[in-house]
């Protein structure tokens, strides 16, 4: 076996195998399901931590899963020594997106939320000491500036003032989030272009397509006018053009939307949203499965493994929570993503 094959095999072996998920779904209870994780090389990471807590406490369980997930990400990045890579640095900002957005919303509506030291501790593993600054930010403007600095995207003070004033007039923080996501993906796309790797450019393009579709659906429920749609649409999508998206927004005709994305819209319109759970991961995976291992320490392969780790976290959360909430295992079996 060549070094490349061995290295790739080792990286892949840290991911929980599909068979383990199947066996977990057959377990009688949560404890049995957790103990099955100990038999899988990738699952031991989760097993060791979950075994130390009371898994019947959903809040704690989900936090531990998130903690282990970030540990695995940190381990992966340090093992392939790509921590300083520009693309990955921007890519990983998605892992603190929800925290930044909740702080932004809280400060916008003049509420106060505390970031727990537990959360800060978890995030420091990946983002270092600069994450501590986040806990000190209070004004929306400061949080926006912080986010732009994280994604290495320069925006003028006037731009920030402008989007804040639009959000104030709309009394709607979704607009701010949509603008932040747009900035994030523009920055990520630029970094992907710098790597000149088609896989990354295309993957970012797919993520942009899905984000645009989701943004349009939310914007419709908020009755956004055309000029705002224009502001939140992210350029450089892979399969849908800006004009196609605007035409869809105006006429609600999905015939122009590529077939791969149509279920996302159809399920949303029919109110059958649970069918959409995990669908985007399936789309990403379909795209990433064609990846060839020429270099296991290359950024595309690392991103592929990162996506698998995200899917692993999603699968685990879904399976373990299904025991807590008594969800139908057959249905869960259809929703987990096997790779």
Partner 1 sequence: MATGQVIFYTKGYLLDLKKRVKLLKEGFDILSKKRDELISKLMDYLEELKKMRETVISELINIYSQFLYLYSSMSENKINAELVGIRGSLVVNVLPISVMGVVVPQIKLMRSPNINAISNVQLVSIVNQMNLLLGKLLKLIELEAKIESIAWDLQMTNRIVNALEKIVIPDLEETIRKINDMIEEDMLEEFTRIKRIRDIILKRREGK
Among residues 8 and 208, whose Cβ is nearest to partner 1? 208
Spatial CA neighbour of 246 closest among 271, 270, 219, 221: 219
Among residues 99 and 234, whose Cβ is nearest to partner 1? 99
Contact between 65 and partner 1 by CB under 8 A: the answer reads: yes
Among residues 64 and 80, whose Cβ is nearest to partner 1? 64
Q: What is the DSSP letter of 274?
A: G
Q: What is the DSSP letter of 295?
A: -
Residue of 196, 227, 243, 325 interacting with partner 1 (CB under 8 A):
325
**Which one of the spans 5-13, 246-254, 287-295, 311-319 is the region binding partner 1 (CB under 8 A)?**
311-319
83-102: contacts with partner 1 (CB under 8 A): 98-99, 101-102
263-292: contacts with partner 1 (CB under 8 A): 268, 271-274, 276-278
C-alpha R_g of the chain: 21
Q: Are 7 and 81 in contact (CB under 8 A)?
A: no
Contact between 35 and partner 1 by CB under 8 A: the answer reads: no
Instruction: Give the Å distances, CA to CA, from 264 to 235, 236, 269, 275, 279.
Output: 20, 20, 9, 9, 8
Among residues 23 and 63, whose Cβ is nearest to partner 1? 63
Site string for partner 1, 211-230 (x = CB under 8 A): ---x--xx--xx--------
| Helices and strands, number each (H, E), in the chain | 19, 0
Contact between 207 and partner 1 by CB under 8 A: the answer reads: no
| Helix, strand, or coil (residue 330) | helix
Instruction: Give the Å distances, CA to CA, from 296 to 79, 101, 265, 291.
Output: 11, 34, 36, 11
Q: What is the DSSP letter of 6?
A: H
- Which positions touch partner 1 (CB under 8 A)? 58-59, 62-63, 65-66, 98-99, 101-102, 105-106, 108-109, 111, 113, 119, 170-174, 177-178, 214, 217-218, 221-222, 268, 271-274, 276-278, 314, 317-318, 321-322, 324-325, 327, 331, 335
């Amino acid at each position: 076996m060549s070094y490349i094959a061995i290295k790739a095999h080792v990286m892949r072996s840290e991911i929980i195998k599909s068979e383990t998920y199947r066996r977990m779904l057959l377990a009688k209870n949560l404890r049995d399901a957790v103990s099955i994780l100990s038999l899988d090389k990738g699952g031991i990471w989760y097993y060791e931590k979950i075994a130390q807590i009371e898994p019947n406490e959903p809040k704690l369980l989900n936090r531990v899963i998130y903690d282990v997930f970030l540990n695995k990400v940190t381990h992966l990045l340090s093992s392939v020594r790509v921590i300083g890579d520009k693309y990955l640095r921007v890519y990983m900002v998605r892992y603190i997106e929800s925290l930044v957005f909740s702080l932004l919303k809280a400060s916008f509506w003049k509420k106060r939320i505390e970031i727990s030291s537990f959360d800060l501790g978890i995030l420091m593993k990946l983002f270092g000491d600069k994450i501590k600054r986040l806990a000190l930010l209070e004004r929306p403007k400061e949080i926006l500036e912080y986010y732009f600095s994280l994604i290495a995207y320069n925006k003028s003070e006037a731009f920030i003032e402008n989007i804040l004033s639009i959000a104030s007039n709309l009394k709607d923080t979704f607009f701010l989030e949509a603008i932040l996501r747009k900035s994030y993906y523009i920055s990520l796309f630029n970094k992907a272009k710098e790597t000149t790797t088609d896989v990354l450019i295309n993957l970012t393009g797919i993520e942009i397509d899905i984000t645009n579709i989701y943004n349009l659906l939310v914007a419709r429920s908020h009755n956004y006018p055309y000029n705002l749609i224009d502001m939140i649409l992210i350029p450089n999508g892979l399969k849908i053009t800006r004009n196609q998206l605007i035409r869809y927004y105006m006429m609600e005709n999905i015939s122009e939307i590529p077939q791969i994305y149509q279920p996302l819209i159809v399920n949303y319109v029919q109110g059958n949203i649970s069918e959409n759970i995990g669908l985007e991961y399936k789309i990403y995976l379909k795209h990433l499965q064609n990846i060839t291992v020429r270099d296991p320490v290359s950024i595309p392969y690392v991103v592929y493994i990162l996506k698998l780790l995200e899917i692993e976290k999603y699968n685990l959360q879904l399976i373990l929570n299904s025991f807590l909430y008594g969800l139908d295992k057959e249905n869960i079996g259809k929703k987990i993503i096997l790779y």
